Structure 1
Amino acid sequence: MHWKIIITAAAATHGVHAAATLRFSCSQLVVERLDPLVNPGLNPSPHLHQVVGGNAFNVSMDPSVHDLPTTATCTSCTPTEDFSNYWTAVLFFRAKNGTFHRVNTFGNELGFTQATGGQTVYYLTTGNAKVTAFKPGFRMTVGDPSFRTAAELNAKYKYMDYTCLQSSMTRGGATTNFPNKPCPAGIMVSIRFPTCWDGKNLDSPDHQSHVAYPQGNSCPSTHPVTVPQLFYETYWDTRPFNDKSQWPTDGSQPFVWSFGDKTGYGIHGDYVFGWKGDALQKAMDTNCNSDLFANKINCNVLKTQSLADANKCTKTTQVAENLDGWMKELPGGMAVM
């Protein structure tokens, strides 16, 4: 079975047909309480994030003065021309005694086992429309950390889900809430972004209004430009917490996002574009694809590095707090609700 076939089947499930299937690993860059999109300049931000990509990530990242390809000196992603930053909230285990322990990420077992955590990033072309790569300064978010019900999530966002991994090959049975049973191979979280852009604004006040989901197979007239389908797969190593004797005594599932969400419906992701020059556009135009069981991008227009080299790109945390071991509360004192 080839990865391109798997991707195409997955895309067809969501009503699209993939052409370019660019898939690669981004190792863990840093875990800390900064959010230059939602809380620019605030150190620390209210809740904890796990970040991958270029090492120019910082507390503000003002697009008028912050050019990622020229300010970053390395990237934790395997394409060496990608200095973008990709980040999500951090998963925690809450034991029945009320204490919390951070859950680590681990390398996707379909080809990226040597990565030091982080996530798998995808850029896909869909349908027959010309795909326009994101522009310098582009940024967006998807999801809403305030959501706590399936109705809220399903009414506004598509394709944000959890897969309880029975093995590394599990790709069925996704849910929009946290799995309610131990997952033998961990939990995979998938976050997909909209694929239509208004063609004018690199950002918007809510970081979302300048993009939209397609209507059927076409972009709406308000957002006529088709951009790559960007999505993240993050493998969370929940395996050390599969002992149900440590789970809450009321039988509820024990995982909580770093912003206090115990339902899973507040799932969200952040993105700041940082590809060098026209590298991403070339990759989309030439329909680049990736092998399933190897860290190999089949794309003669992109330069890549090994997972070992990607692992070397890290940042020292700017927020002084202990994120290891058992904690009495979530970082920042976020309430669980």
Structure 2
Amino acid sequence: MPHDVPAVSGRGTAWRRAVTVTLALELLLVLLGCGVAWQVDAGGRTPPAAATDLLGSDFVDIDLVPSGPPAPATVPGAATGTYAWDCGRNENGHRNTANIVMAPGYPGQPHHVHDYVGNVSTAVGSTPQTLAAAGTTCHNGDRSTYFWPVLRTVGPAGSTDHAGHDGEIQVPVDVTLTFSGNPRGNVVPMPRQLAGTVGDAVAVTSGGQNAAATWTCSSTPERRTTAYPRCPAGDQVQRIFDFPSCWDGRQVDSESHRAHLRFPAPDGSCPRNTFPVPRLRLTLAYDIPPEVRFQIDAFDGQRNSPLTDHAFFVNLMPEPLMARVVYCLNSGQTCRDD
């Protein structure tokens, strides 16, 4: 018998039980302390139960999410400007199931509703001609269309209260559209009718390789997650869509709806034979209390997963307006049209 193991006796057995209980308690404390580094991600990991008891495994406490990487460094002469403009927040209730980028001319599934800002005519039967002649909610005359799945509040995790697609639609309290330049050089104008896609509506069943939308809270914009965030009281829930911005110079759309407009590398450089165009960031903010569960509209089989969040745009800016945007970005100015 090893010399460091007490002899089996009444006293020795009691001693070992006491040690076992002590070690178990210490291990529990360590696990609780280490939980702050655990977050939901595309690999299917879930946050600690304390953060998801009522909301479910698709949620993560924003305090458990690490900060993202810093912005790439800019080279001399790069397009460092920004241009922001106001298109409202869909106060007029423009919603439908159409998707004029992925499936033009076809009505979508009734449980997959889109919110719109910009062009007021976007619908199943839209054509380039009807869109170009329509009005807009954008104060600067931008007739582009911007759309994304609606967000709904639903019942607690495991309940049947609004478990499907009939939860109350949440109107964003703020929608921010911002163009930025490119840290490696100047940008060129977007052509009219250029279509942009970010995220993947079937990310759960397709493997998630095109999942790109991120979530955060208004007080912690540097913390990004692919899960639904549980935000502190008083914070706004935010959805952030960073669109691809490297154009092939030829097509305004492609069969995949992605090949013609690609994402830059982490340092901002564009793939070979592509050119940087203004990069669109679309930020949606919602007033949702920490204890309220929410989810996006999604196709059947996608579990209303946050990984499936996505958005689209079709550029219909008048050419003089696009020229003003490009000049603002390339000259390093901070511009805004209210």
Q: Give TM class, smaller chain.
A: 0.5 to 0.7
Q: 204, 212, 218: which is aligned to 1:148? A: 204
Q: Residues 135 and 35 from structure 1, CA distance in 2 versus in 1: closer, same or farther, beyond 3 angstroms? A: same
Q: Match for residue 82 of structure 2?
A: 21
Q: Match for residue 334 of structure 2?
A: 289
Q: What letter corresponds to residue 204 of structure 2 in structure 1? A: R
Q: Residues 183 and 41 from structure 1, CA distance in 2 versus in 1: closer, same or farther, beyond 3 angstroms? A: farther
String of CA shifts for 1:271-291, please: whole Å, max 9, x gaps.
01010123112222133424x
Structure 2 CA distance for aligned equivalents of residues 152 and 43 of structure 1: 26
Give the SS at the match of 1:203. coil
Give the SS at the match of 1:148. helix
Q: Match for residue 226 of structure 2?
A: 176
Task: Say whether residues 1:139 and 2:195 are aligned partners.
Answer: yes
CA contact 2:184–2:268 (8 Å) conserved in 1: no
Structure 1 CA distance for aligned equivalents of residues 214 and 287 of structure 2: 16
Structure 1 CA distance for aligned equivalents of residues 309 and 315 of structure 2: 20
Q: 60, 69, 89: which is aligned to 2:125? A: 60
Q: 186, 210, 214: which is aligned to 1:161? A: 214
Q: Match for residue 297 of structure 2?
A: 258
Residue correspondence of structure 1 range 275-286 to structure 2 within 5 A: 275-286=317-328
String of CA shifts for 1:147-176, please: whole Å, max 9, x gaps.
139x954x5455x311133xxx44232211
TM-score normalised according to structure 2 size: 0.66
Structure 2 CA distance for aligned equivalents of residues 184 and 14 of structure 1: 27
Structure 1 CA distance for aligned equivalents of residues 97 and 305 of structure 2: 21
Q: What letter corresponds to residue 148 of structure 1 in structure 2? A: V
Q: Match for residue 107 of structure 1?
A: 173
The number of equivalent residue pairs is 251
User: Which structure's residues are more often helix, by fraction?
Assistant: 2
Q: 241, 249, 253: which is aligned to 1:199? A: 249
TM-superposed deviation, 1:183: 5.4
Q: What letter corresponds to residue 295 of structure 2 in structure 1? A: V
- Gaps of at least 5 residues in structure 1 are 1-9, 109-118, 248-253, 291-296, 298-303, 307-337
- Gaps of at least 5 residues in structure 2 are 1-66
RMSD of aligned Cα (Å): 2.8
TM-score normalised according to structure 1 size: 0.66
Q: Match for residue 7 of structure 2?
A: none
Q: Match for residue 115 of structure 1?
A: none
Give the SS at the match of 2:228. coil
TM-superposed deviation, 1:268: 0.7
Give the SS at the match of 1:134. coil
Q: Residues 136 and 181 from structure 1, CA distance in 2 versus in 1: closer, same or farther, beyond 3 angstroms? A: closer
Q: Match for residue 218 of structure 1?
A: 269
CA contact 2:200–2:211 (8 Å) conserved in 1: no
TM-superposed deviation, 1:237: 2.7
Q: Match for residue 272 of structure 1?
A: 314
Structure 2 CA distance for aligned equivalents of residues 269 and 228 of structure 1: 17
Give the SS at the match of 2:148. strand
CA contact 1:105–1:235 (8 Å) conserved in 2: no
Q: Residues 229 and 157 from structure 1, CA distance in 2 versus in 1: closer, same or farther, beyond 3 angstroms? A: farther
Q: Match for residue 8 of structure 2?
A: none
CA contact 1:91–1:236 (8 Å) conserved in 2: no
Q: Match for residue 181 of structure 2?
A: 125
Higher relative contact order (CA closer than 8 Å, sequence separation 6+): 1
Structure 2 CA distance for aligned equivalents of residues 181 and 19 of structure 1: 31
TM-superposed deviation, 1:34: 2.1
Whose Rg is larger?
2
Task: Say whether residues 1:98 and 2:160 are aligned partners.
Answer: yes
Give the SS at the match of 1:19. strand
CA contact 1:145–1:268 (8 Å) conserved in 2: yes
TM-superposed deviation, 1:128: 4.1
Give the SS at the match of 1:145. coil
**Residues 197-206 or 280-289, more deviating:** 280-289
TM-superposed deviation, 1:263: 2.9
Q: Match for residue 106 of structure 2?
A: 42
Give the SS at the match of 1:26. coil
CA contact 2:68–2:222 (8 Å) conserved in 1: no
